[in-house]
Amino acid sequence: MRILITGGAGFIGSHLAEAHLQKGDEVYVIDDLSTGSLENIKDFQENKDYRSRLFFSHDSILNHEKMVELVGICDRVYHLAAAVGVLYVLQHPFESIRTNIQGTEKVLELCSKFKKRVLITSSSEVYGKHLHAPLVETDNIIYGPSSKFRWSYAASKLMDEFMALAYHRTNGLEVIIARLFNTVGPRQTGAYGMVIPRLVGQALKGEPLTVYGDGKQTRTFTYVKDVVDALMGLMASPKATAEVFNVGGTEEISIEALAKKIIAMTGSDSNIVYIPYEVAFEKDFEDMQRRVPDIQKIKDHIGFEPKTDLDGILKSVI
Ligand code: UDP
């Protein structure tokens, strides 16, 4: 089968590309390398079993001609190209909205035109600032005001979901929406936030671990290979069409406890420094205090269950 992965040189995209290459598929990657990197796919480009089946385009998903060519020849499309990381969104506000809205619209328009099944990756950010857990796909959504730029990412991803569902309703597009929660594993960069690679890097270098705010905010973490299994399972499941799924782990941990765990597991002499949000990000920054997915729906649909627990994830990153 021919598989197109937008953002396929990114962290999650490159693992998805690898899994499809392992299956024997032809993999087409389009990536503008804004946060992705050729390093992420270098090993496959050099692998003698993979290199004749991997096709890389260094291009933007906004390039209409290129996207017509790629969507036209591929059987299935995974759309992962997006602005990633809270810090990136704050630093590149206009570009982030443009990629997320216009880029996704381009992908949906062409998948609809060429009748290609497509999986759109959304984000747990879409839920906004809830305090309850776990978050269910049908939950209401609460955002801060438009003056707080963090929420632009959530709003743009939510608009992607609406557009995807509208294409299904009006044109019968076969689309699946996956709301990814915090995903971790090899090849993830800590450059734009991403707490685990950052804190592990700091612990290994003996530097202080930077915990933002009071560290009482919580997250769950999913190993990237579990996420890839989930995405491939959803793509292969006809009854997943036009549905929204949480994809995430269920072990809730505060960032402060995570930092302590990382110090213990690395045997580091590092200590923890608490950095106010306005120093780490900007004045009046609002964080999500709690973020835990309910994964019953994806379990019921494709039997998804994360296989790697937090200790296993941390071991692999360390
Ligand atoms: N965080 C932190 N120190 C860091 C990087 C992140 O305390 O060096 C916090 C961040 O404020 C958030 C959590 O860790 O509460 C997860 O951040 P990440 O950027 O990994 O993902 P997010 O959940 O914000 O999308």
Mutation probe of ligand 1 site: the residue of 123, 184, 212 with most atoms within 8 A of C-beta: 212
Q: What's the pTM?
A: 0.96
Name the E strands within the chain. Answer: 2-6, 26-31, 54-58, 76-79, 117-123, 175-180, 183-184, 209-212, 218-219, 222-223, 244-247, 253-254, 272-275
* Model pLDDT for residues 204-246, shown as the tens digit of each residue: 999 999 999 999 999 999 999 999 999 999 999 999 999 999 9
What's the 195 CA to ligand 1 centre distance in angstroms? Answer: 5
pLDDT at position 85? 77
Is residue 90 very low, low, confident or very high in pLDDT (cuts 50, 70, 90)? confident
Q: Is 167 helix (H, G, I), strand (E, B) or coil?
A: helix
* Rounded mean pLDDT, 79-106: 90
Cβ atoms within 10 Å, residue 73? 14
| Active-site annotation holds for 50 | no
* Model pLDDT for residues 125-179, shown as the tens digit of each residue: 999 998 899 999 999 999 999 988 889 999 999 999 999 999 999 999 999 999 9
What's the 272 CA to ligand 1 centre distance in angstroms? Answer: 14
Ligand 1 pocket residues where CB is under 6 Å: 86, 182, 193-195, 198, 210-212, 217, 219, 255, 287
State the chain's mean pLDDT as an integer: 95
Question: Which one of 50, 78, 153, 223 is the catalytic residue?
Answer: 153
* Rounded mean pLDDT, 66-73: 98
Is residue 252 very low, low, confident or very high in pLDDT (cuts 50, 70, 90)? very high
Is residue 181 very low, low, confident or very high in pLDDT (cuts 50, 70, 90)? very high
Domains of the chain in sequence order: 2-185+223-248+293-306 (3.40.50.720)
Asked whether the beta carbons of 41 and 14 are under 8 A apart, the reply is yes
Is residue 24 very low, low, confident or very high in pLDDT (cuts 50, 70, 90)? very high
pLDDT greater than 90 at residue 185:
yes
* Percent of the chain residues topping a pLDDT of 90: 87
What's the 273 CA to ligand 1 centre distance in angstroms? Answer: 14
Between these two residues, 270 and 98, which has the higher pLDDT value?
A: 270
| Nearest ligand 1 atom to alpha carbon 217 | 15
pLDDT at position 262? 98
